[in-house]
Structure 1
Amino acid sequence: MRIYVYLPLLLSVIAPLGARPLSERCEPRLATWLLTASALILGTATTISLGLLAITGLTGIPFLAGLGHWSASTARFYDPAEPPVALLAGLLLGGALVTAARMLWRRARSLAAAVWEAACMPAHNGLVIVEDEAPDAYALPGLPGRVVVSTGMLRTLDETEHDILLAHERAHLAAHHYLFVAFAGLGAAANPLLRPLATAVSYTVERWADEQAVRATGDRVRVARAVGKAALAAHGTAPRLSATPLLGILGRRNPLAGAGPVPRRVAALLAPPLARRPELVLATTAVLALTVLSTVAATHDLHAFLEVAGVAHHEHHHLDMDGPHHIALPAR
């Protein structure tokens, strides 16, 4: 348990380094699944690891050990976590659980409000047009969901771009992208180190919807222009595009490395479609498999640790009842 319990914590430091490469080099649908799974699994595993470390520290406290029928002295002898480490783990665990619970509650309330609002909206073929000069468009989850578009946005785009906009927003609803964002956010709430993964998911779901719009219209350049025009109208500033190559060559810095999500989306649409990149898939799968296996092994070791402490408590109890006997403890 000494090694296994710390592995998920170590991997949660390393894994976010791959968020940007995975989101920009792997096909968006697959990247979204991998990033969401990574955030959720790593967030869950690190929470369990903190819980295991905190439990081993608690078993060394005589009062709490007595409640669990464990031997406090044996627990302290075999404890894989020093008291300060166990205390810190307990504090971090409490913070993680509170933050994750608050995030889950807020997401549930938002989703319930969206479903209620969508049910109350009159729509034609799932489309709701609102009178508003501010250009805006979004997908509203519901049963069924709605695509809400302002009149300001409709006036900004031409007829062909209207179809692209609708295809993009309907892709969000059809693939339930709000769930991917919510699950990735839940993992990041439990472990703030995973926030780059959640941020990457917010980007890849947009890229996923962009590619669905390309499939619906068959024109990558037109979709890129529609995305740029919609962003310009909504935010009032044009996305900065460059005629330079979209990818760094021979170690040269990618000109879009520091750009926001919209310029990166437009650049990706102007480039050829991304492949699945099996090496990135294998690397991500290996990290997740190692995370799960180490968590299972650490949990099994904790069970064995508590069994030893329980047996020692039972033997000490009989020692007190029957007189002094020699108790042979296993080697540490």
Structure 2
Amino acid sequence: MRVNVYVPLALALLLAGVAPPVGRRVSPALAARALTAAAALTAAASTWALLLLSMTLIDQAPAVIAEAGEEGRSLPEPVPETVALLAVAALGVIAHRLLHVVRAHTSTRRMMIRLCEGHPPDSELVVAASPTPHAFAIPGKPGRILVTAAMFGALEPAERRVLLAHERAHLTHRHAALSTTVALAAAANPLLVPVRTTVTFLLERWADEEAASTVGDRRTTARALARAALVSQRARTGCGLHFSEHAVTRRIAALHTAPLPVVRSVGVAVLALGALPALGAVDATGDLLRLLAETLPGL
């Protein structure tokens, strides 16, 4: 347990390092799915590793110390007490960060649903009479696309089709679920923040590629992105525009090149990298169970 319990924490650094190159070289759909799954596994394993470290404090319980003294046994010390105490503190921070992410996502979802109130429940498209250019994909049953009149008015007819195809792709492929998952993973393990950043960008790239495929014109899609970004920048609102944020320049440049290949071997390698921390956590769990058997032989 002295080594394998730290494996999930170390491999989180490796996953964070490979995420950006994978995002630049592999199809956005494949890369986003693989990185999200790997981040979720790594975050769960690293959190479990912290829990295992904190559980080693059981040998400091007065009852355990007294019993060991009566039987003349020496208590094992798999990790220094300071490390175990730091793990307990880290778990508290993680719980706070996770709660913050859940509250933020819940609040945003409620706000967007409220904006759709008063519209027919079976209508996919909701056009809000607002002078601020916005476009959102609102997941749910049914999912909806919220676009402001200012955004629609700023785009040409072909560009409007791009916008709707982009937001529809977010709904069809459940990008909100992937975004929430990777956000929770980064909250549980801050080392995974680069993975969250990469996946957030890849989800927009994925929707861009879907829109380009739907309208059959990559240049029109790139033009729609550029126009939406300019309109949003002029508005200078405090809230980001989902359709035009997330490194628009890189997204536009990508649409002027050929789509990235679907390299499944890279996806498998990323998933394997996510599975390794889980294996390390399982091995460390076995070590802890043996430790507990030695510390509390009556159990």
Name the amino acid aligned to 1:292. A
**CA offset digits 1:67-112 (Å, max 9, x no partner):** xx97489997432211111111111111112221332243234335
Matched, 1:7 2:12: no
Residues 1:137 and 1:106: Cα distance change in structure 2 (over 3 Å): closer
Determine which of 277, 283, 290 is the counterpart of 1:304.
290
Q: Is the 8 A contact 1:118 1:141 kept in 2?
A: no
Distance 2:112 2:92 in 1: 30
Distance 2:289 2:203 in 1: 40
1:54 corresponds to which residue? 54
Q: Secondary structure at the match of 1:88?
A: helix
Q: Secondary structure at the match of 2:127?
A: strand
Q: Is the 8 A contact 2:126 2:146 kept in 1?
A: yes
Name the amino acid aligned to 1:31. A
1:106 corresponds to which residue? 104
Give the Å deviation of 1:50: 0.7
Name the amino acid aligned to 1:8. P
Higher relative contact order (CA 8 A, sep 6+): 2
Q: Max radius of gyration: which structure? A: 1
**CA offset digits 1:218-253 (Å, max 9, x no partner):** 11111111111111111239xxxxxxxxxxxxxxxx
Q: Is the 8 A contact 2:101 2:184 kept in 1?
A: yes
Residues 1:171 and 1:303: Cα distance change in structure 2 (over 3 Å): same
Matched, 1:184 2:170: no
Q: Is the 8 A contact 1:4 1:294 kept in 2?
A: yes
**CA offset digits 1:175-199 (Å, max 9, x no partner):** 1211111110001111111111111
Give the Å deviation of 1:276: 2.0
2:230 corresponds to which residue? 232
Mapping for residues 24-103 of structure 1, pairs under 5 Å? 24-56=24-56, 58-63=57-62, 65=64, 71=68, 77-103=75-101
Taking structure 2 as the reference length, what is the TM-score of the superposition? 0.88
**CA offset digits 1:109-155 (Å, max 9, x no partner):** 43355445545434784111122222221112232122111121112
Name the amino acid aligned to 1:63. P
Q: Is the 8 A contact 2:109 2:138 kept in 1?
A: no
Q: Is the 8 A contact 1:20 1:200 kept in 2?
A: yes
Distance 1:265 1:174 in 2: 20
Give the Å deviation of 1:289: 2.0
Residues 1:12 and 1:131: Cα distance change in structure 2 (over 3 Å): same
Residues 1:109 and 1:157: Cα distance change in structure 2 (over 3 Å): closer
% same residue: 36
Runs (5+) with no aligned partner, structure 1: 238-258, 315-332
Distance 1:74 1:95 in 2: 38
- Root mean square deviation of aligned Cα: 2.6
2:238 corresponds to which residue? none
Q: Is the 8 A contact 2:9 2:46 kept in 1?
A: yes
Name the amino acid aligned to 1:165. L
Residues 1:297 and 1:76: Cα distance change in structure 2 (over 3 Å): farther
Distance 2:213 2:129 in 1: 30
Distance 1:228 1:88 in 2: 47
Matched, 1:277 2:276: no
Q: Secondary structure at the match of 1:139?
A: strand
Residues 1:187 and 1:75: Cα distance change in structure 2 (over 3 Å): farther
Distance 1:196 1:17 in 2: 8
Matched, 1:289 2:275: yes
Distance 1:32 1:15 in 2: 13
Q: Secondary structure at the match of 1:41?
A: helix
1:250 corresponds to which residue? none
Paired residues, number: 289
Residues 1:308 and 1:212: Cα distance change in structure 2 (over 3 Å): same
1:197 corresponds to which residue? 195
Deviates more, 1:211-220 or 1:134-143: 134-143
2:145 corresponds to which residue? 147
Distance 2:67 2:164 in 1: 62
Taking structure 1 as the reference length, what is the TM-score of the superposition? 0.80
